[in-house]
């Protein structure tokens, strides 16, 4: 059974720092991995989608990497801003579980001005 773990559970950094969020999954048979952002009580906004054949994806200050063989992904946020404060969730589309997303429990990020 696929399990997704995110470390750390919470992170507080001063504005301007570069930071890395970690995601690991137990079964490497995935179709893709997606990073989402969630503001308190709000919906999920897709940030980056990495197909299983890809190593990384970039969007603005965000860069996500994927190492399928080791079951790991990282989300790199450059020059963090207070507006980046949110919960970041990673999720995998498992190859043998009907295409549904399996989520980690998220990293709650706080960027202090």
Q: Please report, as ranges, the residues that interact with another protein according to CB under 8 A.
A: 31-32, 34, 36, 41-46, 49, 51, 89, 93, 97-106
Smaller CB separation from another protein, 52 or 74:
52
Contact 23, 32 (CB under 8 A): no
Q: In the bound complex, what is the minimum distance in angstroms from residue 107's beta carbon to another protein?
A: 11
Smaller CB separation from another protein, 9 or 79:
9
Residues in the chain: 113
Which residues fall within 8 angstroms of residue 24, CB to CB, at 6 or more apart? 4, 5, 6, 7, 71, 72, 73
Smaller CB separation from another protein, 11 or 81:
11
Q: In the bound complex, what is the minimum distance in angstroms from residue 53's beta carbon to another protein?
A: 11
Task: List residues bridging with 50 in a β-sheet.
Answer: 33
* Rg of the chain on CA atoms, in Å: 13
Smaller CB separation from another protein, 71 or 106:
106
Q: In the bound complex, what is the minimum distance in angstroms from residue 15's beta carbon to another protein?
A: 26
CA atoms within 13 A on the CB side of 73: 37
Q: In the bound complex, what is the minimum distance in angstroms from residue 34's beta carbon to another protein?
A: 5
């Amino acid at each position: 059974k696929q399990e997704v773990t995110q470390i750390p559970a919470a992170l507080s950094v001063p504005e301007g720092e570069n930071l890395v969020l970690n995601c690991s999954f137990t079964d490497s048979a995935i179709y893709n991995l997606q990073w989402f952002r969630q503001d308190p009580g709000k919906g999920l906004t897709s940030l980056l989608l990495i197909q299983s054949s890809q190593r990384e994806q970039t969007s603005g200050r965000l860069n996500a990497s994927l190492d399928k063989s080791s079951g790991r992904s990282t989300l790199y946020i450059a020059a963090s801003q207070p507006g980046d404060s949110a919960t970041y969730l990673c999720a995998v589309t498992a190859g043998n579980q009907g295409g549904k997303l399996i989520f980690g429990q998220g990293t709650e990020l706080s960027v202090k001005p």
